[in-house]
Amino acid sequence: MNITDITEADEKKPLIEQRADPYVYFHKDGYYYFTASTPEYDRIELRRAWSVKALADAEPLVIWRKHPDGPMSWHIWAPEMHYIDGKWFIYFAAGQAEDPWYIRTWILENDSKDPFCGEWKEKGMLISGWDSFMLDCTVFEHYDNWYAVWAQKSQERTENSCLYIAQMTTPYTLKLPQTLLTRPEFDWECKGFKVNEGPAVLQRNGKVFLTYSASATDATYCMGMLVADDGADLLDAKNWKKLDKPVLVTDEKAGVFGPGHNSFTTSRDGKEDYLIYHARPYAEVDLSFALYDPNRHAWVKRIRYDSNGFPLFM
């Protein structure tokens, strides 16, 4: 095994401490890029390295800070960086000081080849079919089309958040109407709060796997999964199958509590897939304070596959 590959020992300890909602992107320039929520929820950082493990020691660069007031001035959450048509984009969630829970999805753009250079420009809010609590947007390419998947409070306001999908007409705009993919319905999705959030996409073995996180951000937080055939119409909810059991849960023996809000990347040779996720090293957390407990750490795990080509995370 190459020294840059992830070992069992690496899986048993945090990759980067106090970085929740971790996102890792392996670019064609040979770098792994990392971004995540910081405990202060006040900025967006990037770091990069030649291996996933080396991200732990990489120097973070602050590329954007929250506004003093108004939109994008509070709760800067879950940034994701993507490379689309020769430009860099960051999708992130933000509230405002006057109303911290007025959470919406916002976009930054950088046209420099090097995302550590150039200017990160604010491109406005991502507009969905209605205005409500909206966060955790991820985007992916599938058969030359770009899609966005995100968490949003439904029009009926019966849950904290559901997951929706839409095709993208540009990196800033959605082709509406959006499609409801999943809403919290199983007991393990409704502990503390009724939540489906943090979507991430893995395209493997003739399938499109969509993982997501469910329940409150304490030890009950866990990961669920939807799956569609690779050639299916991804905008038709009937083409997605939702698993009735979570695919990653708290592992007390391993000291991993409330795992979720993941992303996916690969080894340098592309032969292994990695799950990047956050979890706490302890269970005890006040639910009313859970979001402000700083010790949600980024972890990494190698993905195994079963005989049907489905990813195994436990």
Q: Is the pLDDT of residue 265 over 70?
A: yes
H/E run at residue 9:
helix 8-11
What sign has the CA pseudo-torsion 68, 73, 74, 75?
negative
Q: Is the pLDDT of residue 128 over 80?
A: yes
What is the mean pLDDT of the segment spanning 228-248?
Answer: 98
Report the C-alpha gap between 294 and 261 in whole angstroms.
Answer: 15
Q: Which range (28-37, 259-268, 284-293) has the least confidence?
A: 284-293
Concatenating the DSSP letter of every residue in 46-102 gives: EEEESSTGGGGGSPPEEEEE--SSSEEEEEEEEEEEEEETTEEEEEEEEEETTEEEE
pLDDT for the residue numbered 287: 82
Q: Is the pLDDT of residue 1 over 60?
A: no
Contact 225, 188 (CB under 8 A): no
pLDDT in tens, 58-111: 999 999 999 999 999 999 999 999 999 999 999 999 999 999 999 999 999 999
What is the mean pLDDT of the segment spanning 299-313?
Answer: 97
Q: Is the pLDDT of residue 189 over 90?
A: yes
pLDDT for the residue numbered 75: 98
pLDDT for the residue numbered 289: 83
Give 5's pLDDT tier (boundaries 50, 70, 90): confident
- The amino acid that residue 244 corresponds to is D
Q: Is the pTM of this model over 0.85?
A: yes
Q: Is the pLDDT of residue 30 over 60?
A: yes
Report the C-alpha gap between 76 and 93 in whole angstroms.
Answer: 6
Give 227's pLDDT tier (boundaries 50, 70, 90): very high
Q: Is the pLDDT of residue 123 over 80?
A: yes
Contact 150, 163 (CB under 8 A): yes
pLDDT for the residue numbered 2: 67
Q: What's the Rg (C-alpha) of the chain?
A: 18
What is the mean pLDDT of the segment spanning 265-281?
Answer: 97
E-assigned strand segments in 97-236: 99-110, 121-125, 134-142, 145-152, 162-170, 173-182, 196-204, 207-214, 222-229
124: closest CA among 103, 144, 141, 109?
109
Helix (H, G, I), strand (E, B) or coil at 235: coil
Catalytic residue among 159, 189, 197, 218: 197
Catalytic site includes residue 293: no
Catalytic site includes residue 272: no
Encoded tokens for 142: 């599938």
What is the mean pLDDT of the segment spanning 187-214?
Answer: 98
163: closest CA among 181, 175, 146?
181
Catalytic residue among 21, 80, 109, 136: 21
Percent of the chain with pLDDT over 90: 97
pLDDT for the residue numbered 86: 97
pLDDT, the chain, mean: 97
